[in-house]
Amino acid sequence: MSGQTIQHAATIDTPADVKRVLVVDDDPTILELVRHALGRLDRYEVITAVNGADGLQSYFSALPDCVIVDVGMPVMDGFQFVRALRGHSVSANTPIIVLSALTDDNHQTTGALSGVDEYVAKPFKMSVLCAALERALQITPEDRERRIQELAEGSDGE
């Protein structure tokens, strides 16, 4: 595990109206772009990690309000990272957005089945990512549980 990227400890409080967002991507350009763009909005505090394993370390150190994660990464890919979060009661209800160049239907379906709330295609517009972030933050644990049960039953529609 790289150990890089934990830039805010969980003991550092953020104002109630500021959401802490963990961005996990092995592309430093994407990390900087998202950090810069969200940071300008004054309502997000951004922390970053470079792969899924590093992301888990950052998640449990900083306990973010939301996660944005790439799919194709070394050590632990994005879908494994998502399943690791969804499989533990501490992290099971965190809003999760996938930001990926893998945009075919099967990848998106695998994302949904893994527990992803929103899927944003690369290349992306910041306005699209921000809209997905706002939607994901509005999802309640009950909404998520309902969707998981529907997906498990295969009743998620055509």
Give me Rg for the CA atoms of the chain. 15
Q: Compute the least distance from the CB of residue 13 to another protein, in Å.
A: 23
Query: Which positions lie near another protein, rule CB under 8 A?
Result: 1, 52-53, 56-57, 60, 75-76, 80, 83-84, 86-89, 92, 105-106, 108-119, 145, 147-154, 156-158
3-state secondary structure of 22: strand
- Looking at the Cβ atoms of 9 and 41, the one nearer to another protein is 9
Q: Of 18 and 113, which has the nearer Cβ to another protein?
A: 113
Closest contact distance (angstroms) between CB of 112 and another protein is 4
State in angstroms the smallest separation of the CB of 76 from another protein.
6
The structure tokens listed for 7 are 């830039």
CA 17 to chain centre: 19
Tokens standing for residue 79: 């879908």
Q: Which is nearer to another protein, 42 or 156 (CB)?
A: 156
Nearest approach, Cβ of residue 32 and another protein (Å):
25
DSSP 22-59: EEE-S-HHHHHHHHHHHHTTSSEEEEEESSHHHHHHHH
